[in-house]
Amino acid sequence: KAGVTQTPRYLIKTRGQQVTLSCSPISGHRSVSWYQQTPGQGLQFLFEYFSETQRNKGNFPGRFSGRQFSNSRSEMNVSTLELGDSALYLCASRKSDTEAFFGQGTRLTVV
């Protein structure tokens, strides 16, 4: 059974640009969550989608947004990139109120 797939694995962007990250959950999992991991702030919850609806949102500015498609795949978008957005972005999928399975992450570097 394939795990959570995140693409791309690495990205380099310039300040002010926007970026879109993609996440394909485990087959049958309808919930997708996104987390940001930085050395200073650790792992922080961004948002969660279930059946194409955002169900939970973390404390991040509106530049961070996401969506989920009917096949449960999810995308995360960050607009007007700042240097501080450099991080490992992790996607996790769940079947229900059970454990979350994480992908390998997308390493975003903003220069």
Partner 1 sequence: AQSVTQPDIHITVSEGASLELRCNYSYGATPYLFWYVQSPGQGLQLLLKYFSGDTLVQGIKGFEAEFKRSQSSFNLRKPSVHWSDAAEYFCAVGAQGAQKLVFGQGTRLTINP
Binding residues for partner 1, rule: CB under 8 A, are: 4, 6, 31, 33, 35, 42-45, 48, 55-56, 58, 90, 92, 94, 96-105, 107
CA distance 49 to 73: 10
CA distance 33 to 54: 10
CB of 33 to partner 1, least distance (A): 7
- Residue 13 or 107 having the CB closest to partner 1: 107
How many angstroms separate the Cα of 37 from the Cα of each of 28, 41, 78, 101? 26, 7, 15, 16
CB of 6 to partner 1, least distance (A): 8
Query: With contact defined as beta carbons under 8 Å apart, do 54 and 45 qualify?
Result: no
- Residue 73 or 79 having the CB closest to partner 1: 73
- Residue 6 or 24 having the CB closest to partner 1: 6
